[in-house]
């Protein structure tokens, strides 16, 4: 099975093998994926991080050896917790921005250099060794535009936001809100919600359609139009700007004990 370590800032993964097909998710820089099937111009892939499957343009598949992937996966590595950082790519010293949740493994000659396949990179400044703070990481996405299937600072959906924030905090979540709801343990009362809990919301048919990150004190951060901060109570999300409820609360789950 062909595997690849992504050297791209965000690879679009589509529902069908065509450019006009819906965006399902994105592969971040440094994430590993595997080719399951190939047709002319397209590859059906499975993400190593969450097992999600979809189609990517074959130009994004740059094969990595089994040894490279094993070394990359087993290394301690560094997860980007800032909204984005700038890499410098050799040999032309061109800039490349990568988003929070991207992963680096410094396998070069010094702490700031590394390679992905045949591509060489370095960071202009050292990354912080400080343990990431969940609220700080989550707030780093504020004002990011909503993008169905997005997982980056440049465009994100509600479950992509929670997945990436929790990835940075060391907790792997599935891709979709309905899958994420199966994780953790239930919180009985909204007043008990604390920073790091996930709140899930349903539609009139009872389907889970939205997820947000609780920040305590009745605050919730979620992607709706843009990543924003609103008020959470037993009814759901109360939009501070429109002065009305926008999402009906179904359940709150504690992911981080």
> Residue 240: what pLDDT?
86
> Residue 60: its pLDDT value, please?
97
Bridge partners for 220 per DSSP:
214, 230
Q: What is the C-alpha separation between 88 and 75, in angstroms, rounded?
A: 22
Q: Are 114 and 90 in contact (CB under 8 A)?
A: no
Residue 42 has pLDDT above 80, yes or no: yes
Q: Are 154 and 144 in contact (CB under 8 A)?
A: yes
Residue 32: what are its φ and ψ, rounded to 5°? -100, 140
3-68 shares its CATH topology with 134-254: no
Residue 13, strand partner residues: 25
- Across all residues in the chain, what is the average pLDDT? 94
For the cut 80, the answer to whether the pLDDT of residue 43 exceeds it is yes
Contacts of 215 (CB under 8 A, 6+ apart): 135, 138, 195, 221, 229
Q: Is 218 helix (H, G, I), strand (E, B) or coil?
A: coil
CATH number listed for the domain at residues 3-68? 2.30.30.40
pLDDT > 70? residue 232: yes
Helix (H, G, I), strand (E, B) or coil at 82: coil
Spatial separation of the C-alpha atoms in residues 173 and 138, rounded to whole Å:
15
pLDDT (tens digit per residue) in 142-151: 999 999 999 9
In the chain, % of residues over pLDDT 90: 86
CATH of 134-254, one of 1.10.260.40, 3.90.1720.10, 3.40.50.2000, 3.30.70.1350: 3.90.1720.10
**pLDDT for 106-159, tens place per residue?**
876 666 788 898 899 988 777 877 889 999 999 999 999 999 999 999 999 999
Reported as a single tens digit per residue, the pLDDT across 60-109 is 999 999 999 999 999 888 999 999 999 999 889 999 999 999 999 887 66
Higher pLDDT, 108 or 239: 239
Q: Residue 76 region, left (φ>0) first, then alpha (ψ -120 to 50), else beta? A: alpha
- C-alpha pair distances (Å), 134 with each of 110, 120, 148, 165, 223: 29, 31, 23, 7, 16
The domains of the chain are located at 3-68, 75-123, 134-254
Distance in angstroms between the alpha carbons of the first and the last residue of the chain: 37
Spatial CA neighbour of 185 closest among 257, 251, 254: 254
Statement: residue 255 has pLDDT above 90 = yes
Question: What percent of the chain is modeled with pLDDT above 70?
Answer: 98
194 pLDDT above the threshold of 80: yes
Q: Is the pLDDT confidence value at 56 over 80? A: yes
């Amino acid at each position: 099975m062909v595997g690849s370590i992504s050297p791209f800032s965000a690879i679009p993964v589509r529902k069908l093998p065509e450019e006009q097909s819906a965006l399902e998710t994105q592969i971040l820089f440094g994430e590993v994926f595997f080719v399951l099937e190939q047709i002319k111009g397209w590859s059906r892939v499975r993400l190593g991080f969450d097992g999600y499957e979809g189609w990517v343009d074959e130009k994004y598949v740059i094969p990595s050896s089994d040894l490279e992937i094993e070394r990359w996966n087993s290394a301690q590595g560094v997860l980007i917790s800032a909204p984005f950082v700038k890499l410098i790519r050799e040999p032309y010293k061109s800039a490349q921005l990568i988003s929070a949740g991207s992963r680096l493994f410094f396998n070069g000659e010094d702490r700031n250099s590394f390679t992905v396949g045949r591509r060489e990179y370095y960071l202009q400044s050292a990354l912080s060794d400080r343990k990431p703070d969940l609220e700080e990481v989550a707030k780093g996405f504020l004002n990011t535009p909503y993008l169905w299937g997005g997982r980056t600072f440049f465009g994100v959906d509600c479950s992509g936001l929670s997945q990436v924030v929790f990835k940075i905090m060391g907790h792997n979540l599935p891709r979709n809100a309905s899958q994420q709801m199966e994780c953790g343990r239930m919180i009985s009362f909204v007043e008990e919600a604390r920073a790091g809990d996930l709140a899930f919301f349903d539609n009139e048919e009872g389907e889970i359609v939205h997820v947000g990150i609780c920040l305590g004190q009745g605050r919730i951060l979620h992607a709706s139009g843009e990543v924003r901060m609103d008020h959470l109570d037993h009814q759901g999300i109360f939009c501070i700007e429109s002065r009305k409820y926008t999402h009906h609360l179904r359940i709150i789950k504690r992911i981080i004990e």
